[in-house]
Chain A
Amino acid sequence: MEHTIKSENGVMTVYLRGEMDHHNAARLREQIDAALTFENPAVLRLDLSEIAFCDSSGLGFIMGRYRRMESAGGSMILVNPSEPTMRILRLAGVDSIIRAEYTKGAAK
């Protein structure tokens, strides 16, 4: 699993690629949380367009970052969540809680 982080004007965008399972989520959590501590952004954007697989561990990762941002007075947006991600979010009812954004040209 790979990720790229871009930060600008208090907005941190994390591009995620690969399979979000328990194994990958554990390492990802450490890395993203370290970046959040360092940057302290007002908005976290998780780009999930290239997530090929997501199970309940991926859901735990997303919910964890959402709670962290909310409790710090910030917000989190999911960008172009892929179908594997959406089916888990829908199942947990999280799709109605966390805002998702579909940028132009991306398939919903």
Chain B
Amino acid sequence: MKRSPQNRFKCVFPAKSANESFARMIASAFVAQLDPRVDELADLKTAVSEAVTNVIVHAYAGTDIPPEERVVIMSGELREGRRIAVTVKDRGKGIEDVKKAREPLFTTSAAEERSGMGFTVMETFADTVKVASRPGKGTSVRLYKRFT
């Protein structure tokens, strides 16, 4: 049987770029209970920042979803063995081809100087990245990281 997490959090905030730093603060505050090493904390903050930025840049762009429903749903779990899972979800348009979206340098908005490295950064700084997406329903990115 799967053991329940030691603790968890969930929060919802508008998908606005000003909230990227807010998301990093939440991630920092959540892992503070593990007294993480500076580099491990930076890893998690960076991975979370990428996931949240993806929602803000892509999830609701070109949709008729009203502003008040354009949200980032962020949650986290602390599990046994100093393992953290952070989930960043949206209720946006979804990703047609997740495999392609995860390729390094893939970007749909080159004009805006997107580097196309978002998923690569997440995969580098988190231990495991799981992406689930349904076109028209939204996307969920789950970041797993074990702290020493």
For A90, the closest partner residue in chain B by CB is B124
**A84-B42, A88-B121, A92-B117 in contact; A57/B53 too (CB < 8 A)?**
yes
Q: Does B120 contact A (CB under 8 A)?
A: yes
State A103–B37 Cα separation when bound (angstroms). Answer: 28
User: Are A56 and B50 within 8 A (Cβ)?
Assistant: yes
User: Are B24 and A23 within 8 A (Cβ)?
Assistant: no
User: Are A21 and B53 within 8 A (Cβ)?
Assistant: yes
Q: Does A72 contact B (CB under 8 A)?
A: no
Q: What chain B residues lie within 8 Å of A59 (beta carbons)?
A: 115, 117
Q: Is the interface of B mostly helix, strand, loop or mixed?
A: helix
Interface size on B, residues (CB 8 A): 22
Stretch in contact with the other chain, from B2-10, B14-22, B73-81: B14-22
User: Are A53 and B45 within 8 A (Cβ)?
Assistant: yes
State A21–B49 Cα separation when bound (angstroms). Answer: 8
User: Are A19 and B50 within 8 A (Cβ)?
Assistant: no
State A55–B20 Cα separation when bound (angstroms). Answer: 11
Q: When the two chains form the complex, which single residue of A21, A26, A92 contacts B115, counting CB atoms closer than 8 Å?
A: A92
Q: Does B57 contact A (CB under 8 A)?
A: yes
Q: Does B94 contact A (CB under 8 A)?
A: no
User: Are B114 and A23 within 8 A (Cβ)?
Assistant: no
Q: Is the interface of A mostly helix, strand, loop or mixed?
A: helix
**A53-B45, A55-B46, A55-B49 in contact; A23/B20 too (CB < 8 A)?**
yes
For B56, the closest partner residue in chain A by CB is A22
User: Are A55 and B121 within 8 A (Cβ)?
Assistant: yes
Q: Does A10 contact B (CB under 8 A)?
A: no
Q: Which of A56-70 contact B (CB under 8 A)?
A: 56-57, 59-61, 63-64
User: Are B17 and A53 within 8 A (Cβ)?
Assistant: no
Q: When the two chains form the complex, which single residue of B21, B49, B113 contacts A61, counting CB atoms closer than 8 Å?
A: B113
State A64–B107 Cα separation when bound (angstroms). Answer: 14
Bits for A22-66, please: 1 = Cβ < 8 Å to B, else 0: 110110010000000000000000000000010111011101100
Q: Does A107 contact B (CB under 8 A)?
A: no
Q: When the two chains form the complex, which single residue of A19, A29, A56, A64 contacts B118, counting CB atoms closer than 8 Å?
A: A56
